Structure 1
Amino acid sequence: MAMSLGSSSSRRRRGGSRRAPMAEINVTPFVDVMLVLLIIFMVTAPLLNSGVPLDLPDSRANAMDNEAQSITISLDAQGNAFIDDTPVPAGGFAAALAGIEQMGDGPDVVLRADRALDYGRVMAIMGELNRAGLNRISLVTGRSSDAP
């Protein structure tokens, strides 16, 4: 009774090839998907500023840092007011401001007003903000323009 005890490597060479499991991960599809998502976010991020379409005036002022606790107030060309993209009924702006909770100095107010809007309407809104104790107001403008 003779048995052949050949090594496992000799068995593999004869025809029964067994492969060890691959321990590598192909990251190329993952990188492709991430680059596509990056491009999508880069294109859509500037469009997410505000839902109220305005024609902002131009200015040469430097850009400010965005604060974490801020309220955006927008005034469209017809003089309608919006608080964080929520329309405020006519005559109800003071009541809407009273509902805003204030901590410390209060939140920063970012005021966006259309270029075609009357200066008196913008000043009336700023007066209501002052009466409500919201004194830190930033005026938003469009892109930089040339020096006058």
Structure 2
Amino acid sequence: MSRRHGRRKPMAEINVVPYIDVTLVLLIIFMITTPMLQTGVDVDLPEAQSKTVESEGDGSNPPIIVSIKADGQYFLKIDNGEDESVQVDAINPRVVEVLAQKPKTQVLINADKTVDYGTVVTVMAALKNAGVPTVGLMTKPEEDQ
């Protein structure tokens, strides 16, 4: 009988230390890889005081972004893909092709602040003439000074 009273009861708690270790490792991996996933054309946007435009729908319809760099290069980003270099005369057919499949897609112009105003207006007018209902301009918020 003395042996029976000397036994320990089985422990019914789960050891969570290994789960915490795995979670910490995954957190570190995601913190390192997330900045690497954000790519795009490096454009120095003009600053303006404006409100953020919310995209329509559930986010499954990303906007078409036409980027104009300071050196005059044009880039086109469709469906959250990579920015691809295009000639100015190839922009309209590509945009019209996407809008034929997804008519509610927004079209945004992402131009460097040193780009000539006439260049931006010319691209905007060409998009409007191609049948794009609205063309937006991308800016970054003004910093408090």
1:102-121 equivalences under 5 Å are 102=100, 105-121=103-119
Match of 2:51 among 39, 62, 70: 62
In the TM superposition, structure 1's runs of 4+ consecutive aligned residues that sit over 4 Å from their partners are 17-23
TM-score normalised by structure 1 residue count: 0.69
Match of 2:4 among 1, 4, 9: 9
Who is 1:139 aligned against?
137
Which residue in 1 is equivalent to 2:41?
52
The structure number with the bigger radius of gyration is 1
TM-score w.r.t. the length of structure 2 is: 0.70
Hey, what does 1:128 align to over in structure 2?
126
What 5-or-longer segments of structure 2 have no aligned partner? 78-82
Matching of residues 15-94 of structure 1 within 5 Å:
24-26=14-16, 27-37=19-29, 39-40=31-32, 44=35, 48=38, 50-67=39-56, 68=59, 69=61, 70-84=63-77, 85-94=83-92
Tell me the alpha carbon deviations over residues 69-91 of structure 1, each in whole angstroms, 9 at most, x when there is no partner: 21111111122221101111243
For residues 53-81 of structure 1, what are the alpha-carbon distances to aligned partners after superposition, in whole Å with 9 as ceiling and x for unaligned? 10110111122224432111111112222
CA distance in 2, matches of 1:95, 1:40: 39
SS of corresponding position for 1:79: coil
The CA distance in 1 between the partners of 2:113 and 2:99, in whole Å, is 30
Q: For residue 91 of structure 1, give the secondary structure of its aligned residue in structure 2.
A: helix
Q: Report the count of equivalent residues.
A: 134
Choose between structure 1 and 2: higher helix proportion.
2
Gaps of 5+ in 1: 1-5
Q: Identify which of 93, 96, 102 aligns with 1:95.
A: 93
Distance between the aligned counterparts of 2:121 and 2:135, measured in 1? 12
Is the alpha carbon distance of 1:7 and 1:66 closer, same or farther for their aligned partners in structure 2, counting shifts above 3 Å? farther
